[in-house]
């Protein structure tokens, strides 16, 4: 039985198993096995040929945004509207067959936007060159999930499932669990909060499934078995995602209002160029960028050339951006002071 068949069997068993106290250990083991097989599926084959064209392009600009979605939802049209790059757009599926980069110039920042080929159901297993598309998405700072507003919630749930299965966690934070394998001493388990989803026995069973018999585990928040497995695997990517519903000119006002009120969502129409300015504002907020303006002593600030940094950056980061030797010569009492209000 191949890895895909094993994954399918475990998914079917999880679906038909009732969730209650009696089955929580069994479900925890199944989820651990499922995560192991999915990790094996993503590993490149040693016997595979090195031939083939990759999608990734050199990272440039102040931030990178990946544009993903099913075929014919308007990704290429969006790229052409927001950047000076012309991406081929047509009414048939799979118009875009490779990664096409563009640059959005906004508030003095250069934001790299990647138009990725449309992915289909089963992309995580390699269908439709899906693994290459998802691999590029893992390198982005923000994911824009382009959805067809005329097709309801079907596309969103399918895409979330595909990304979840390859270790991309959308709009989630890293679980606050301390985990450190040891050479001996068995498993040391502690928690600073009351756990309602995980128990010491379940944690031990999951660790044993990964052949880990000596480790230190500390739960600082009430996490699920899935989140604990993510900590063990250690290669999960946590990134913000903006759900963009295109083609709102083809649905009712009531449906537009419903979609616009959903969390992390923006409604637009590329065909009629509706709400694109608000989408840029939301993208800037999700990227958490800030503009730093410098001034010479005795002169007015230069507002034409900004230094773009992430929010929470320190004065030391600014020094490094200006010149690598400046930080060592900086004589401020607290060079790691955060840049609050310097936007």
Q: Which of 209, 245, 243 is nearest to 229 (CA)?
A: 209
For residue 281, what pLDDT is reported? Answer: 92
Domain that holds residue 13: 3-42
Q: Is residue 55 part of a domain?
A: no
DSSP state of 117: P
* CA-based radius of gyration for the chain: 23
- What confidence score (pLDDT) does residue 263 get? 92
Question: Which pLDDT does position 125 carry in this prediction?
Answer: 53
Asked if the structure places residue 48 within a domain, the reply is no
CA dist 206 and 113 (Å) reads 39
Output the pLDDT for position 130. 57
| 212 and 267 housed in the same domain | no
Residue in 124, 136, 167 with CA at minimum distance from that of residue 64: 136
Examine the domain organization and report whether 138 and 252 are in the same domain.
Answer: yes
Query: What backbone phi and psi angles, to 5 degrees, belong to 63?
Result: -160, 160
Residue 58 counted as domain residue: no
Q: 165-185 burial, b for 16+ CB within 10 Å, e for fewer?
A: bbbbbbeeeebebebeeeeee
* 247 shares a domain with 112: yes
Pair (114, 158) in one structural domain: yes
Residues 143 and 82 in one domain: yes
Q: Burial, 339: exposed, middle or buried (Cβ in 10 Å; 0-12, 13-18, 19+)?
A: middle
Dist CA 143 CA 145 (whole Å): 6
pLDDT at position 53, please? 47
| Same domain membership, residue 311 and residue 167 | no
Q: Is 206 found in the same domain as 301?
A: no
| Residue at 270 is within a domain | yes
Say if residues 308 and 108 touch (Cβ distance below 8 Å). yes
Residue 92 pLDDT: 44
| Assigned token pair, 81 | 């509207």
Which residue in this structure is represented by tokens 């106290």? 21
343 residues of the chain, pLDDT tens digit each: 677 778 888 888 888 888 877 787 788 888 888 887 777 766 655 444 444 445 567 777 888 998 888 888 888 888 888 887 765 554 444 455 577 888 888 888 889 988 877 665 554 555 545 567 777 788 889 999 999 998 878 888 888 888 887 788 999 999 999 999 999 889 999 999 999 888 888 899 889 888 999 999 999 999 988 899 999 988 888 999 999 999 999 999 999 999 999 999 999 998 888 999 999 999 999 998 888 888 888 888 878 778 888 887 888 777 877 777 777 776 655 545 555 444 4
Structural domain ending residue among the three candidates 192, 210, 233: 233
Residue 307 lies in a domain: yes
Domain assignment present for residue 50? The answer is no
- 197 lies in the same domain as 316: no
67 lies in the same domain as 143: yes
In a shared domain, residues 203 and 241: no
Residue at which a domain ends, from 269, 287, 305: 287
246 & 167 share domain: yes
Residue 54 lies in a domain: no
At 169, give phi and psi (nearest 5°). -105, 115
Residue 51 within a domain: no
Are 266 and 156 found together in one domain?
A: yes
**CATH number for position 127:** 3.40.50.300
Number of domains in the chain: 4
């Amino acid at each position: 039985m191949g890895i895909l068949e094993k994954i399918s069997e475990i998914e079917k068993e999880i679906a038909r198993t009732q969730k209650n106290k009696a089955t929580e250990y069994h479900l925890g083991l199944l989820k651990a096995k499922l995560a192991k097989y999915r990790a094996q599926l993503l590993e490149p084959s040693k016997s595979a040929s090195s031939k083939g064209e990759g999608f990734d392009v050199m990272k440039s600009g102040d931030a990178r945004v990946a544009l993903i979605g099913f075929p014919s939802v308007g990704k290429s049209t969006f790229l052409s509207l927001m950047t000076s790059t012309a991406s081929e757009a047509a009414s048939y599926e799979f118009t875009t067959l490779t990664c096409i980069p563009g640059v959005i110039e906004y508030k003095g920042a250069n934001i790299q936007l990647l138009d990725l080929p449309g992915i289909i159901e089963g992309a995580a297993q390699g269908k439709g060159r899906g693994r290459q598309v998802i691999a590029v998405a893992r390198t982005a700072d923000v994911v824009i999930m382009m959805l067809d507003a005329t097709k309801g919630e079907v596309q969103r749930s399918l895409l979330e499932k595909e990304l979840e299965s390859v270790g991309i966690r959308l709009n989630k934070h890293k679980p606050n669990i301390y985990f450190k394998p040891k050479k001996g001493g068995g498993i040391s388990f502690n928690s600073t909060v009351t756990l309602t989803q995980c128990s010491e026995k379940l944690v031990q069973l999951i660790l044993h499934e990964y052949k880990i018999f000596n480790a230190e585990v500390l739960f600082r928040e009430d996490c699920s078995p899935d989140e604990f497995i993510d900590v063990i695997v250690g290669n999960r990517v946590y990134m913000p995602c903006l759900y963009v519903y295109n083609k709102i000119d083809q649905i009712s006002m009531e449906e537009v209002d419903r979609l616009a009120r959903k969390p992390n969502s923006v409604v637009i129409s590329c065909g009629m160029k509706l709400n694109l300015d608000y989408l840029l504002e939301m993208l800037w907020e999700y990227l958490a960028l800030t503009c730093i303006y410098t001034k010479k002593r005795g002169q007015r600030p230069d507002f034409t050339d900004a230094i773009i940094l992430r929010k929470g950056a320190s004065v030391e980061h600014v020094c490094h951006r200006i010149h690598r030797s400046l930080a060592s010569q900086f004589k401020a009492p607290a060079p790691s002071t955060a840049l609050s209000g310097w936007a």
